[in-house]
């Protein structure tokens, strides 16, 4: 009797797994499938963390900056960038120090320029800062394949604005970056 219960429980478990596989295949076919999702999942492999989708990318002297987020929450626009060495295998290293006062965005709908926000003590709302309270943003790809997250806060554009142009010294402008709300 115990063997029969065990066999029935095992069959039920297998049936549940098959139903979940079919359910995930149906949901994947009904939504957009990216190139990284086209491969069949390997149950024995360790899960990989997907890199964020880049909204815009620029390269300069072996350094790549990708804008990965421009999101309005309340009255603040949060912009996130990633930086990394263009060719990590070659051992490229770079260090960029940028004056935060020179970083801004232009609201594409109203053509108004907005600078990085400061808190009540006058500290820029950005990271990584060169030193605490500094007005300089510092990021480095000193370590192979190391990706650095850079975050900036701005006053939010009006609801009518759907895109912005982000301006970063040395790297130029990142045009028509879509805003999420």
Going by C-beta distance under 8 Å and a sequence separation of 6 or more, which residues neighbour residue 64? 57, 58, 83, 84, 85, 86
Q: Is the pLDDT higher at 139 or at 162?
A: 162
Average pLDDT for 125-148: 72
Of the candidates 123, 61, 70, 144, which has an alpha carbon nearest to the alpha carbon of residue 96? 61
The tens digit of pLDDT for each residue in 52-74 reads: 788 999 887 777 889 999 999 99
The number of beta carbons lying within 10 Å of the beta carbon of residue 100 is 21
pTM value? 0.66
Cβ-in-10-Å burial (0-12, 13-18, 19+) of 8 comes to exposed
Collapsing DSSP states into helix, strand and coil, what is residue 165?
strand
DSSP, residue by residue, 37-106: GSSPP-TTSPPPPPPPPPSEEEEETTEEEEEEEEEEETTEEEEEEEEEETTGGGT---EEEEEGGG-EEE
DSSP state of 156: P
- Whose tokens are 């620029």? That residue is 58
The ranges assigned to domains in the chain are 2-37, 56-178
Of the candidates 20, 1, 23, which has an alpha carbon nearest to the alpha carbon of residue 9? 1
Percent share of the chain, pLDDT over 90:
38
Which CATH architecture best describes the domain 56-178? Sandwich (2.60)
């Amino acid at each position: 009797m115990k063997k029969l219960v065990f066999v029935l429980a095992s069959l039920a478990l297998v049936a549940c797994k098959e139903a979940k596989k079919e359910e995930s295949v149906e949901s994947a076919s009904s939504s957009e499938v990216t190139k990284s999702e086209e491969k069949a999942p390997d149950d024995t492999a360790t899960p990989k963390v997907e890199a964020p989708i880049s909204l815009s990318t620029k390269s300069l002297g072996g350094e790549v900056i990708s804008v990965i987020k421009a999101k309005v929450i309340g009255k603040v626009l949060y912009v996130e960038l990633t930086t990394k060495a263009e060719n990590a295998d070659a051992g490229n290293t770079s260090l960029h120090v940028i004056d935060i006062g020179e970083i801004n965005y232009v609201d594409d709908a109203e053509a108004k320029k907005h600078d990085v926000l400061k808190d009540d003590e006058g500290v820029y709302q950005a990271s990584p800062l060169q030193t605490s309270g500094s007005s300089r943003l510092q990021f480095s790809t000193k370590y192979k394949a190391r990706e650095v997250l850079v975050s900036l806060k701005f006053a939010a554009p009006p609801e009518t604005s759907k895109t912005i142009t982000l301006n970063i010294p040395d790297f130029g402008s990142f045009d028509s970056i879509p805003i999420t709300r």
